[in-house]
Structures are given as structure tokens and as C-alpha cells.
Structure 1
Amino acid sequence: MTAHIWLPIPPDDIEGLPEGPDYRYWNGGADFPADPADCVFYVVPYMQPPGVGLRPLPQMRSVEVVQTLSAGIDHVEPGLRHLRPGVRLCNARGVHEASTAELTLALILASLRGVPDFVRAQDRGEWLGGFRPALADKTVLIVGYGSIGAAIEDRLAPFELARVVRVARSGRTTERGPVHPLAELPALLPHADVVILSTPLNDSTRHLADDSFLARMKDGALLVNIARGGVVDTKALLAELESGRITAALDVTDPEPLPREHPLWRAPGVLISPHVGGPTSAFMPRARRLLVEQLTRYVNREPLTNVILMTEPPGEH
């Protein structure tokens, strides 16, 4: 058997790849570049339709590492049951933080300052003046305080906020202050002017923002979702938006892509961007650097970075 490494970027376009491995390019096409059974290191295609990256996994009997180029791993997890025990699953920590945090600030500022209204007014040739909410003096709640949550706080720092409140699965202390455990979230929601969702999607966070969560948000608050669409209960959000009690800025939706006739498109007080937190000019250079680092570590049998989990024998949890 010849061991292969599958990459969704042509190997010739990645400067610094370690010599020795047999690199094969596959970005989700109909035909595999080689027998999946010979693949030992699989880099999952990025921004492909659901299920594309899962196709070769049942045949990857020799794979040792599955590397995503996304921060989330929910799109890969359904295929892990096909893999042998001990396969390392790694995410793309370090690739998306800057771009996703940039978009988060853009969505917050655009929503608060009414930029979508200004664009529509420009199309009509209408001068739309008046007072709008500022980000200054607001309390911002970040739900999901990993590397992306921290990067968002980095960019919030100059905006003269009243307070930043951090929430994660478990509580801890950082240089910036406490991170509250998820169990305290219900008590924190009523005090936040802006609630940012940057948590992974898993069994504990699916529909985290349900009717109870949304009802606890203060009147006039802004919900920002740059996590995954499934973190929010869309039906519950629609009810709150249509009441006019809160507003929302969503880079992700459930379902996704959002169908043309879906009522969320026309709900009052919502700004929707089409899941563009990660794909920017910063992506490719950072993705290449990550792959060079990981593959160099792999070839030299050094510990990999960004290991999220290792697969277990069937029936174990």
C-alpha cells in the first residue's frame, strides 16, 4: 500500500509542504483521486455542500488524521463512526478567528446604526436621518468563549462598552475577567444589549437560543449568530422578530442555505449574511500555514495541534 495524503488545495499551491508523502488533490469532485483505503491524512474539502466531505470516510480504513479547514466539526462528526479507533480529528483553530470577528463587528454596527435601512433609502434616493443606537455604553454577552469569542472581544475593546460578559460550557478565569458557566446564562441574558452566539454546534447547544432563551433577552436587544444556524430555534426567533421586541443579525441560519421563500428573509429587524464569516482573503494563507505545520508535525511524528477528539471503538462514549 502507498500511503496518500488528500488535500483540497493543489499541493503545488502550498509552499513548504514536507517532502516524502504522496499528495493527492481532492476538493469534493465526483471521482476520488486514489483509493480512499490508502489515505492516511485526510483534509476535508472546505465550503462544499453538506455530505460531500463525508463520502470517502467509510472507505478510509487506514486514515490516521482527519483535518478540517473550518472551526466547527459538526459537518464531519456523522462520518466518524465509520473510522477505526484512535483517528485524530483536528479543526482549523487559528484560521478563521480574525475574519469571523471582523464580520461579527460589521453585523453589530450595521444592525445598530441602521445601515440596511440606509442602503434601501439610497436606492429610493431618500435622505433617512434620525437617531440610532450606538455600540458605546452597551453590555455585550458572548456565548461561547473559545478562540473566536476571544477574538471578538479583542475587536470590541475600542468601542467603550459598559461591560463584556463571557459564557462558556464551564466557568474559568481569564486575564480579562471571569468566564461564566453555561448554567448561569439565564440570569445573564436580561442584562445584555447585544448577545453574540459563537459556540460550537453539538447536542448541548442545538436550539440553545430557544423560546425561553429569547424571552429572557431584554427588550430592544440584538441577537448575533456567527456560530451555526442550529444553535437558534428559527421558529422561536421568527416569533420574537415579528413581535418587534428584539432584532437579529445572522451569518448562519437553519435551514441553510435559506430558501428563497423562507419568512426569515422578510422578518422585521433582521440582517442576514450568507455564512461568510470565514471565506475572506485571510483564509487561504492561514489555511496553507496550518496544513504545512500539521503535515510537518505528522511526518516528523510530533504531536499535532488542534486535536478536538479521537475516535473510539463502537459503543464507547
Structure 2
Amino acid sequence: MTERPHAQFAMTAQYVPLVFPPELLARLRRSVEIDPALVAHDFTDPRMRAALARTEVLITGWGCPRLDAAVLDAAPHLRAVLHAAGSVKGFTTPELWQRGILVSSAAAANALPVAEYTLAMILLAGKDAFAFRDLLRARRTFPCGGIVPGIGNYGRRVGIVGASRIGRRLIELLRPHDLAASLADPYVDQAEAARLGVPLLPLDDLLSSSDIVTLHAPQTPETRHLLGARELALMPTGSVLINTARGALVDHDALIAELRTGRLSAVLDVTDPEPLPADSPLFDLPNAFVTPHLAGSQGNEVARLGLTVVEEAERLSAGDGLLYAVDQADLERAA
């Protein structure tokens, strides 16, 4: 590679100044030669074809077109793809890996806000904050000074499903709190769970012994409806399900049936389908708290993704290894 390799943005153009604000863009341009005004959203555009002919590094993000054989043929000097977002599944192809092109992702940076959101929801759910907010709104008064039984976060049992980047970051964030965390993940053994500092349980045991269950597993054919009617029935009465992973991990018909009984509550940042149809009962059920896919990087948080890519570009230009390289073998069980 040259000292300052030729780079090309490939993402939805409106995201570039958000992910790479001026100070980050200036830092990026010290490592790579890149034109921020030229952003690829369609590789068949003649201007893009000309740019690809000299591109050594692609800076990708949300909205990046698929990197198929035709695109790669047009980019004979491409050596690395640095993704300023999470999953690379949507645009990578087998040809990319077959040609030995390096791929890096900011998924680790994107894990932090999701873990933070989840922690916030765990603590709020432990206080039953959403139900009491609605109660206060309805009554317009509430006796203050008394002790409310049945709530609180001291010793609250939190079951984490999936030791993904987000699941692991959540485990770290939970440590300062007096919560009892456990983990279910078929790819984790007892020794690794011990290193993470949490007991490893079979999924059924985790569901039946947790006050709060939070999902952090990837969406794969094996995890579709990971929680169906049988699994939801295992959760104790009064427990809470949090899903910030993928909506398809939960059978929504079964969940709605449970919510209608009032036995469980749910905090859902992802749904199936997404977005929900306007007539979905989840909008009106008092024990369902639904947010519009907010947990991942939003607002000023997306600059953290850009920072990750800038640091990777600096390593690449210096001839150092990438810190967040993606292994194709891990993709099948990654988010």
C-alpha cells in the first residue's frame, strides 16, 4: 500500500458528516486520500466505476451496496473494507473473502450504546418504573414516603441470552450493581463463563430463574423464535423480557398472548415485523414498552463509529494489524 492509500466512501451520503464530523474527517484524511463529496451508493454510476479503479480502502456504512464480484472486479487494488457500523452481513459476499480483502467493523463501538440502553431498562424495570409512571398519570397523585413492596434492584436476577459483543459489554456494565447475572449461550463453556464472571445455565433454567431476561443473540435460522410459547411460559410471573437484538428471536404472537394475561412485561427495541403494523396490540398493551430501534448508535453516538474507522485507517496506513478485523468463520453466529 502507498503511504496514503486511495479511499472511497460507500454508504448513504447523508450519514457521512454525522459519522465523520469535521475533526474526525480531517484526521481520516491524514491517513487516506479520500473525497468526502464523492460517496458511492450505486457502484454502476460511471463516476463510481472510475473511483473504484484506484480505490485501495472502502469506508463503508449504512446503505453500502453489495460488494459482489462485479464491484470487486472494478476495484482491482482494493485491500481493505472499514465498516463504520455494526454487522457486515448485508453487503459482504463470499468473493470478498476469497480475494483476501481485509474487513473491519465498528460493531464493538456500536455495542456500547445497546448495552447502556439495556442496563437502563434493567434498572427501570427493577423499579417497575413504567407501570408506576402510568399509575401516577392516571391517578394524578401517589402517596409518598411509604415503601413499595415487590420492587427494587438489590439482588435482582438478570438472565443474559447470548455472549455477543453486546452481551459481554452488558456483563461489564452490570458489575458495579447489586444484581445477580447469569448467562445462556451454547457457544460458551464453563471456563469462559467463569472468566466473564457469570454462571452459565441452560436456556430453560435461565428463563425459569430470572426476574429479567435480556436477549443478545444473533438472528440465525436456529434462533428464530428462540423464545416461543413454551419458553415464555417458563418465565416467572412478574418477570420482564428485554429485546434489543432482533425481533425474530421472539414469537410475537406468543408474547402478545402472555402480555394480555398480565403475567409478564416486555421492553422491545426491536420487533417482528419492523416497523410494527399500526394495529399491533403492542402499542396499547400497558405492560409493553416499545421503542423504535433506538438502542444502537444514534445522534452524537455515531461519531464513535467513525472514530473506530479512523483508528483502523491509521493502523492500516502504518502497516499495523487491524484491531477489529472480521473473521468470515464467525459471521454465521454473529449479529
Structure 1 length-normalised TM: 0.79
What residue ranges of structure 1 are gaps of 5+ in the alignment? 47-51, 312-317
Residue in 2 that maps onto 1:315: none
* Aligned ranges 1:284-299 → 2 under 5 Å: 284-299=302-317
Describe the shift of the 1:43–1:229 C-alpha distance in structure 2 as closer, same or farther (beyond 3 A): farther
Residue in 2 that maps onto 1:92: 106
What letter is aligned with 2:158?
A: V
Residue in 2 that maps onto 1:266: 284
Residue in 2 that maps onto 1:150: 168
Residues 1:164 and 2:144 aligned together: no
Describe the shift of the 1:164–1:120 C-alpha distance in structure 2 as closer, same or farther (beyond 3 A): closer
What letter is aligned with 1:177?
A: G
Residues 1:133 and 2:144 aligned together: no
What letter is aligned with 1:71?
A: G
**Structure 1 stretch displaced more, 138-147 or 124-133:** 124-133
Three-state SS of the structure 2 residue aligned to 1:284 is: helix
Describe the shift of the 1:20–1:44 C-alpha distance in structure 2 as closer, same or farther (beyond 3 A): closer
Describe the shift of the 1:279–1:176 C-alpha distance in structure 2 as closer, same or farther (beyond 3 A): closer
Residues 1:21 and 2:9 aligned together: no
Identity score, percent: 25
Residue in 1 that maps onto 2:84: 69
What letter is aligned with 1:6?
A: F
**Structure 1 stretch displaced more, 278-287 or 101-110:** 278-287
- Aligned length, in residue pairs: 300
Alignment deviations for residues 218-250 of structure 1 (CA, whole Å, 9 cap, x no partner): 222211111122222222222222222221111
For the 8 Å contact 2:32–2:313, the answer to whether it is kept is no
Q: 1:261: Cα distance to partner?
A: 1.8
Distance 1:298 1:260 in 2: 47
Distance 1:12 1:248 in 2: 36
What letter is aligned with 1:166?
A: L
Distance 1:253 1:28 in 2: 27
Residue in 1 that maps onto 2:57: 41
* Aligned ranges 1:45-56 → 2 under 5 Å: 45-46=61-62, 52-54=63-65
Distance 1:231 1:139 in 2: 21
C-alpha RMSD of the superposition: 3.2
Residues 1:249 and 2:267 aligned together: yes
Describe the shift of the 1:164–1:200 C-alpha distance in structure 2 as closer, same or farther (beyond 3 A): same
Residue in 2 that maps onto 1:307: 325
What letter is aligned with 1:148?
A: I
Distance 1:242 1:110 in 2: 21
Distance 2:222 2:214 in 1: 17
Alignment deviations for residues 246-279 of structure 1 (CA, whole Å, 9 cap, x no partner): 2111111111122222222223411111111123
Residues 1:104 and 2:118 aligned together: yes
Q: 1:304: Cα distance to partner?
A: 1.6
Structure 2 length-normalised TM: 0.75
Distance 1:210 1:26 in 2: 43
- From the two aligned structures, give the one with the greater strand fraction: 1
Three-state SS of the structure 2 residue aligned to 1:158 is: coil
Residues 1:219 and 2:237 aligned together: yes
For the 8 Å contact 1:72–1:200, the answer to whether it is kept is no
Three-state SS of the structure 2 residue aligned to 1:165 is: strand
Describe the shift of the 1:123–1:187 C-alpha distance in structure 2 as closer, same or farther (beyond 3 A): closer
Describe the shift of the 1:187–1:146 C-alpha distance in structure 2 as closer, same or farther (beyond 3 A): same
